[in-house]
Copies of this chain bind each other. A is one copy, B any other.
Amino acid sequence: MITKEGITDWFKSLQDSICIAMEQADDSGGIIGKGTFKETLWEREEGGGGRTRILQHGNIIEKGGVNFSAVHGIVPQFLKQENSFSISNEATFFASGVSIVIHPTNPMIPIIHMNVRYFEMSTGAWWFGGGIDLTPHYIQEEDARFFHNAMKKACDKHDTDYYSDFKKWADDYFFITHRNETRGIGGIFFDKLNDANRKNKEQLFYFIQEVGNTFAPTYTHLMLKNKDLPYTAANKQWQLLRRGRYVEFNLVYDKGTKFGLETNGRIESILMSLPETAGWQYNFIPKADSEEEKTISLLKKNISWVNYKLED
């Protein structure tokens, strides 16, 4: 039987294995041991806590967080409203998961985000949610195809509808409405997966594990492939602007951030997703036919990245 304890234990082991893989990959960028996760254990007054692991100033990773948390308590008001729950004031929730954001130093390496989570309530309701999405500072066709094919492969093993459904969901979710642009090239996103449709809890948990296990090999490939690409001061300036958009998304739209802030989560753990530096320039317009312009032109929904080829 799948229990919340079993799921939570697996999330912890996922955090462990991803941290090892990230440190190993970072080592390959230069000095062994330069990029090491520092752990903070924290408790939440209202119940539960977490294990925050942050790597700053590695060889390849400038700032990255691989966080586990498991919190519980009375179902907060905002969740009831958002989900139109009509449940008693005493109803309790349990939520656990792993959240990752990695900001690399080299602007030729993309930013990545992953979240896998489990939620249940004393009413008996439960679901899984999560996703992985990629935010290249410079969109490279080959990497975009590679990333989306990795996502598709993970999905297809479990349900041949998943990739197209969850890819669309990611396009819609990771969208910066006020900029009318996607955060990056998307990926997969899903929420409220439960046994209402075809799959049972065990099958869904396997899928969650598949997503979790897909993260490290996918991202380390992109780290190692691009880590030695040269870049200019202008590339770094552009990276700052793209990170600024990342900040805008996370503070204005991201539901995980909102959930953390509204459930009195540990603020330094929640906002580990923000980059070490970010920037805003008034009315920045990239040069015609530049790589920056190309990237912006591709920040839109409904691009079929699995077989994407830029037209000549």
Chain A residues within 8 Å of B, Cβ to Cβ: 40, 54, 56, 63, 65, 177-179, 240, 244, 247-248, 251-252, 261, 267-268, 270-272, 274-283
State A276–B279 Cα separation when bound (angstroms): 5
State A270–B177 Cα separation when bound (angstroms): 14
A244 touches B282 (CB 8 A): no
B277 touches A240 (CB 8 A): yes
A277 touches B278 (CB 8 A): yes
CB nearest neighbor in B for A40: B283
A54-B282, A268-B282 as given contacts; A274 in contact with B65, CB under 8 Å: no
Which residues of B sit under 8 angstroms from A280, Cβ to Cβ?
A: 63, 271, 274-276, 278
Please state the number of chain copies in the assembly: 2
The contact of A63 among B178, B251, B277, B282, by CB within 8 Å, is B282
Distance in Å: Cβ of A104 to nearest Cβ of chain B: 16
State A65–B282 Cα separation when bound (angstroms): 9
A177, A251, A279, A283, most chain B CB atoms within 10 A: A283
CB nearest neighbor in B for A253: B251
A178-B261, A178-B267, A283-B268 as given contacts; A278 in contact with B278, CB under 8 Å: yes
B278 touches A282 (CB 8 A): no
CB nearest neighbor in B for A177: B261
A65, A248, A274, most chain B CB atoms within 10 A: A274
State A272–B244 Cα separation when bound (angstroms): 12
State A66–B264 Cα separation when bound (angstroms): 36
CB nearest neighbor in B for A279: B277
Which residues of B sit under 8 angstroms from A63, Cβ to Cβ?
A: 280, 282
CB nearest neighbor in B for A262: B178
State A275–B243 Cα separation when bound (angstroms): 13
Distance in Å: Cβ of A271 to nearest Cβ of chain B: 7
Distance in Å: Cβ of A250 to nearest Cβ of chain B: 9
